[in-house]
Structure 1
Amino acid sequence: MSQQLAAALLRYTNAQPGKSPYATAVDGLYTLRSDLPRPPAFRSARPAICLVAQGAKWASFGGAQLEYAAGQALVVGIETPTLGRVFEASPEKPCLVLILELDLAMMRAVAQAMTSPPVPAGDASRGVFVANFDGPLADCALRAVRLLDTPDAVGIVFPMIMREICYWLLSGPHGPEIARLAAADNPSHNLLRAMENLRARFAQPVRVEELAEVAQLSVSAFHRQFKALTGLPPLQYQKQLRLIEARRLLLSQATTVQAAAFEVGYESASQFSREYARMFGAPPKKDAINALALRDAA
């Protein structure tokens, strides 16, 4: 089935203008194509399922690296900073990836409608994992790509495909983990609310004690469960969000290094430059110049 999906994605991306990633007529559905291996890149991941039809990638979450290749999917159940890289791709066999953003409210509705819904996992395990996609799940992905040929049907058919994808994820081997992240009445929900609070205020000074109160946990329990879910301590999570946003601003060429630093919450431009270089491997200005040159050459 991954070969059929690869053929459909190849045909679709061949017809697209511009550069990958390609947004589609379907909100929350993206296609990625890379004809060559890419250097590692930081970004902020949203809840999504990333299916590799051809080639291979890896993604690092809080230092834990996950590889996923043709026939596998990376399932991300939380919004979190990540470092990712395409490491298997060529002009003859480009890396082809389909990204479907997950609607956790829809996931909850599907779980409630199931005769035997999965019991949410009770532990604070990592909110990302790699799973095989085959059978009905692969068929859903292929139908989603083929649906792009009939835009008039998207609004009616795509929501049904997404509900089906939710069902197969919930009824699969990782169903308890998906159910834990989607369940509003699960203890992890308060932790996710605290994460949302931190993301909304990432450019502001935030005290861990405030976040622990939102999560209804002691400070030590909050710190432990937050790191178990994201792989990062809360303030390191905030720092990575700040630096990823600053890099986005710099690559948009809409701001200076000092302005970007202040925009994301740094009071010291020199501290910003040090932490930026530590994360991205070069000072802000040099990194932006190199990244823009690579983007223009791609």
Structure 2
Amino acid sequence: MSDLPGLKGRTPILAGFRREREGNAVIDVSRLCSFHPKMKSYDRHRLPDPCKNLPETPSVWSALEGSTIFGSEKLTGSAAVKTDLADAFASYVAAHGGPDALSSTPVENLFLMCSTKKRLPFRKMYKPSLCIVAQGAKRIEVAETVLDYPAGTALAISVELPGYGGVTQASSEEPFLGMTIEFDMDMIRAVLDKLPTPPSTASDGSGLFVEQLSDAQQDCIARLVRLLEMPEAVPVLYPAIMQELYYWLLVGPNGGEIAKMVRSESHTQRIADAIFHLRRDFRRPVRIEELADVACMSPSSFHQHFKTLTSMTPLQYQKQLRLIEARRLMVMEAANVTRAAFEVGYESPSQFSREYSRLFGSPPKQDAMTLRPHRAQLGL
């Protein structure tokens, strides 16, 4: 049989889950897809909370089409992707989850994703992490900041942020293939301390940026994915590969932004401390002075640096935290609107409904009723 579309010269997986015609014969391409027997159920504690991966209405992206791209130059085409990188991703997801699924790994807080179709944006809390694209493309929107990141690039998130994200380029012939790795701050700090010349840090920037992956970074990531196929070797070899990856990030063009995440004197680290304090008890009213004290800043300086890093004010940040949690309660725990409002800190259900509708595009009861039948798929 000839090579399948989009995967010429690769292992014949993930291409075209449909029936292909070759001459007079009809070939069932779906039989080329393999699924790992151990993946009948996901290891939930290693995957993103499905309650925070809820699909949004189609109107969201249409509203973004006219948005300005902040924080990074908009990337309209794919960067150079080494065949080895895409092959490693395709091979792993075929054996551990298959198409249109999250693939768990032996490493906590590291997972791979495959999608054969575009995915509507969903709102969630993004943890500090590196989101790598080997094939296809994604988009993220945080407040006024909109970033596209195609194959051969990675999105770096330096502080926990609420935002929209979705797959913008995928097909049966060339599925979206990506991976998310949560940053290990202790390991980044250890690598940074060993550098003979630490990266210089520029003035304050946004809490996220897109980086073109170098050949060295792609080689490292491909080896990491292949290592995941050997769980017994992961405890021994995984730390070394991750140290190498952090090294290439720190000596790369955005090394200063990575370094700011772990430098105690940096504004990024101070704001991250304040965000942790806010998330720990987001239900109660929090004064700017309290958060500024945690960050060891004056209230005016804290407000300025917080908005620069997160693209929103502390009050807006807390409001999104509350509404995302309320949505989880209504969809996953069948809470009614009043209960959800009170549990996340609202005193007025009517105010809660207005703000919920403004954020998610539909009233809370209607939104929850629409999403409840799809609870089993919300982790995809």
Structure-1 separation of matches of 2:229 and 2:319 = 42
Shift of 1:29: 1.0
Match of 1:57 among 133, 138, 142: 138
Structure-2 separation of matches of 1:98 and 1:2 = 16
Shift of 1:279: 0.8
Structure-1 separation of matches of 2:343 and 2:286 = 16
Aligned residues: 297
Which amino acid is 2:144 matched to? Answer: G
Structure-2 separation of matches of 1:172 and 1:262 = 47
Which amino acid is 1:20 matched to? Answer: A
Structure-1 separation of matches of 2:116 and 2:82 = 18
Counterpart of 2:108 in structure 1 is: 27
Match of 1:137 among 202, 217, 240: 217
Structure-2 separation of matches of 1:31 and 1:224 = 36
Counterpart of 1:115 in structure 2 is: 196
Counterpart of 1:106 in structure 2 is: 187
Match of 1:214 among 294, 298, 301: 294
Structure-1 separation of matches of 2:82 and 2:324 = 32
Counterpart of 2:346 in structure 1 is: 266
The TM-score normalised by the length of structure 1 is 0.93
Structure-2 separation of matches of 1:294 and 1:89 = 21
Identify unmatched segments of 5+ residues in structure 1. Answer: none
| Secondary structure at 2:180 match in 1 | strand
Counterpart of 2:76 in structure 1 is: none
Structure-1 separation of matches of 2:295 and 2:193 = 24
In 1, are the aligned partners of 2:224 and 2:238 still within 8 Å (CA)?
yes
| Secondary structure at 2:134 match in 1 | strand
In 1, are the aligned partners of 2:96 and 2:104 still within 8 Å (CA)?
no
Counterpart of 1:205 in structure 2 is: 285
Structure-2 separation of matches of 1:187 and 1:279 = 28
Structure-2 separation of matches of 1:91 and 1:286 = 32
Correspondence 1:228 to 2:308:
yes
Counterpart of 2:35 in structure 1 is: none
Residue pairs, 1:60-209, within 5 angstroms = 60-121=141-202, 123-209=203-289
Shift of 1:294: 5.3
In 1, are the aligned partners of 2:82 and 2:215 still within 8 Å (CA)?
no
Structure-2 separation of matches of 1:246 and 1:23 = 27
Shift of 1:190: 2.5
| Secondary structure at 1:24 match in 2 | coil
Structure-1 separation of matches of 2:149 and 2:205 = 19
Structure-2 separation of matches of 1:202 and 1:156 = 39
Structure-2 separation of matches of 1:173 and 1:17 = 34
Which amino acid is 1:99 matched to? Answer: T
Structure-2 separation of matches of 1:47 and 1:181 = 9
| Secondary structure at 2:178 match in 1 | strand
| Secondary structure at 1:129 match in 2 | strand
Structure-2 separation of matches of 1:239 and 1:91 = 38
The TM-score normalised by the length of structure 2 is 0.74
| Secondary structure at 1:176 match in 2 | helix
Change (3 A) 1:71 1:17: closer
Shift of 1:295: 6.0
How well do the aligned residues superpose, as a CA RMSD in angstroms? Answer: 1.9
Structure-2 separation of matches of 1:2 and 1:203 = 46
Structure-2 separation of matches of 1:251 and 1:144 = 36
Rg larger in 1 or in 2? 2
Change (3 A) 1:3 1:283: farther
| Secondary structure at 2:198 match in 1 | coil
Shift of 1:5: 2.3
Structure-1 separation of matches of 2:115 and 2:171 = 8
Structure-2 separation of matches of 1:42 and 1:288 = 14
In 2, are the aligned partners of 1:58 and 1:65 still within 8 Å (CA)?
yes
Match of 2:363 among 280, 283, 296: 283
Which amino acid is 2:186 matched to? Answer: A
Counterpart of 2:120 in structure 1 is: 39
In 2, are the aligned partners of 1:22 and 1:30 still within 8 Å (CA)?
yes
